[in-house]
Amino acid sequence: MSALAAEFNAINLGQGSPDFEMNESLIDLVSKAMRDGHNQYTHRNGLLSLREAIAEKVDFFYNAQVDPKAEITITPGGTYAIYTALTSVLNAGDEVIVFEPAYDSYAPNIVINGAIPVFIPLVFPNYKIDWELVREKISSATKMIILNSPHNPTGRILDKNDIEELRNIVSETEILILSDEVYEHIIFDDHEHESILKYPDLFQKSFVTFSFGKVYHFTGWKTGYCIAPDWLMKEFLKVHQYNSFCANSPFQYALASFLQCRDEYLQLGNFFQAKRDYFNRLMHKTKFKPLPSKGSYFQLFSYKDISNESEIDFAKKLTKEAGVASIPVSAFYQNGKDDKVLRFCFAKKESTLQQAVEKLMRYQNKLDI
Ligand SMILES: Cc1ncc(COP(=O)(O)O)c(C=O)c1O
């Protein structure tokens, strides 16, 4: 959709990346780190001061005590952390539960390890997890369950009931958890992020993955981290050691200082909630109907009052004819399940969102609906 958006000069609300500037002080901190000569490899697990800052943060935020020396590894992005976690534990024939719609890297990362993704649809339109179905799909080959909260593409978040259901399923089994929490701070309406880090029994079976790029508006830096108990992190490091060995040094020095300022992450929920609300207020004038978004920087809209076309056809048409790109949610399902829903990214300047909605209004008026 991004290529199509570029070809037709459309406003790109498809791709999940901000179009506003990141924090200037971080750029200064990276420049300073480079000038101070921090341009060589760091420790394989990452710069210790950054790992300590993360340990301090998760203690403050989730009351989780993790060992920065043994349980945190800095990675070149969240996707890398996901791939490394899967590769470090999966064997041929293992089954991994994946809830769909799903971030696109999970299935290929499972398959490349000879393992088998077992897809479970989230229940439309609230995208809740059908835990009864999960119980049915568990087999002796189930090695892992992948969770993602706040969720891309739906904006759904895990709640305490989900955690309880998960606990009932995995306790007394050897099933592992991969918890993709790259949107951890982007959560709205006073909801709490149910990080797996809050639950010591679940954490003992989990890889929890994060992305600095997603939360601090620099997706192009590709910097993230994984937190896992010592016994799983040892496996993770066996893959990481011979893959990238370590992540980018100057960014790590900069982030170690930046994380000292709690306001930087404490204000993120309100910051993105204001964008979601602004976008939804504008979209209210159209025939697109919002589905609940409780976190992430995505908002789904049903277009069934506008068209019967498939998601992919309608998304292409909107890009070419209205000048606004979105992502068909069917692209996040292996079988292309089509509920007439598109994903829009609201991590954009207000002027971008305003122009996009004006274009959608003009298009709707042209269609005379
Ligand atoms: C659910 C989810 N996980 C992981 C990532 C990747 O994070 P990174 O850019 O740090 O690799 C994304 C990016 O879109 C995502 O949406």
Q: What is the DSSP string of 61-87?
A: HH-----TTTSEEEESSHHHHHHHHHH
**Tokens standing for residue 311:** 């998601």
Is the minimum distance from the CB of 79 to ligand 1 under 6 angstroms?
yes
- Mind listing the pLDDT tens digit for each residue in 311-363? 999 999 999 999 999 999 999 999 999 999 999 999 999 999 999 999 999 99
What is the pLDDT at residue 115? 98
292: nearest Cα among 191, 195, 146 = 191
What is the pLDDT at residue 30? 97
In a 10 Å sphere around its CB, with 0-12 CB exposed, 13-18 middle and 19+ buried, how is residue 209 labelled?
Answer: buried
- Mind listing the pLDDT tens digit for each residue in 282-292? 999 999 999 99
What is the CA(347)–ligand 1 centre distance, in A?
14
What is the CA(220)–ligand 1 centre distance, in A?
11
- The answer to whether 114 and 143 are in contact (CB under 8 A) is no
- The answer to whether 228 and 71 are in contact (CB under 8 A) is yes
- Report the alpha-carbon distance of residue 92 to residue 86 in Å, rounded: 12
Q: What is the average pLDDT value for the chain, to the nearest integer?
A: 96
- Report the alpha-carbon distance of residue 165 to residue 198 in Å, rounded: 15
What is the pLDDT at residue 32? 97
What residues does 177 pair with on adjacent strands?
145, 206
Asked if the model's pLDDT at residue 369 lies above 80, the reply is no
- Report the alpha-carbon distance of residue 162 to residue 343 in Å, rounded: 24
- The answer to whether 337 and 100 are in contact (CB under 8 A) is yes
Q: Is the peptide bond before 125 cis (omega within 30 degrees of 0)?
A: yes
Is the minimum distance from the CB of 156 to ligand 1 under 6 angstroms?
no
What is the pLDDT at residue 304? 95
Phi, psi (deg, nearest 5) at residue 245: 70, -55
What's this model's pTM, rounded to 2 decimal places? 0.97
Taking the CA atoms of residue 39, residue 45, residue 49 and residue 50 in that order, the dihedral angle to the nearest 10 degrees is 90
Asked if the model's pLDDT at residue 118 lies above 90, the reply is yes
Phi, psi (deg, nearest 5) at residue 72: -130, 135
- Mind listing the pLDDT tens digit for each residue in 234-277? 999 999 999 999 999 999 999 999 999 999 899 999 999 999 99
Asked if the model's pLDDT at residue 229 lies above 80, the reply is yes
What residues does 148 pair with on adjacent strands?
180
Residue with the larger pLDDT of the pair 16 and 29: 29
Q: Is the peptide bond before 292 cis (omega within 30 degrees of 0)?
A: no
DSSP 136-152: HH--TTEEEEEEESSPT
Asked if the model's pLDDT at residue 156 lies above 90, the reply is yes
Is the minimum distance from the CB of 103 to ligand 1 under 6 angstroms?
yes
What is the CA(355)–ligand 1 centre distance, in A?
26
What is the pLDDT at residue 368? 73
Taking the CA atoms of residue 299, residue 305, residue 309 and residue 311 in that order, the dihedral angle to the nearest 10 degrees is 10
Q: Three-state DSSP class for 106?
A: helix
What is the CA(182)–ligand 1 centre distance, in A?
6
What is the arrangement of strands in the sheet containing 327-328, beginning at the earlier edge strand? Answer: 289-290, 298-302, 341-345, 327-328
Read off the pLDDT band of 367 (50, 70, 90). Answer: confident
Mean pLDDT to the nearest integer, 155-161: 98
- Mind listing the pLDDT tens digit for each residue in 54-64? 999 999 999 99
Question: Which residue from 214, 223, 272, 296 has its CB within 8 A of the most atoms of ligand 1, so it is best to mutate?
Answer: 214
- Mind listing the pLDDT tens digit for each residue in 291-324? 999 999 999 999 999 999 999 999 999 999 999 9
361: nearest Cα among 261, 290, 284, 265 = 284
Mean pLDDT to the nearest integer, 130-158: 98
**Tokens standing for residue 202:** 């679940």
What is the pLDDT at residue 250? 97
- The answer to whether 135 and 169 are in contact (CB under 8 A) is yes
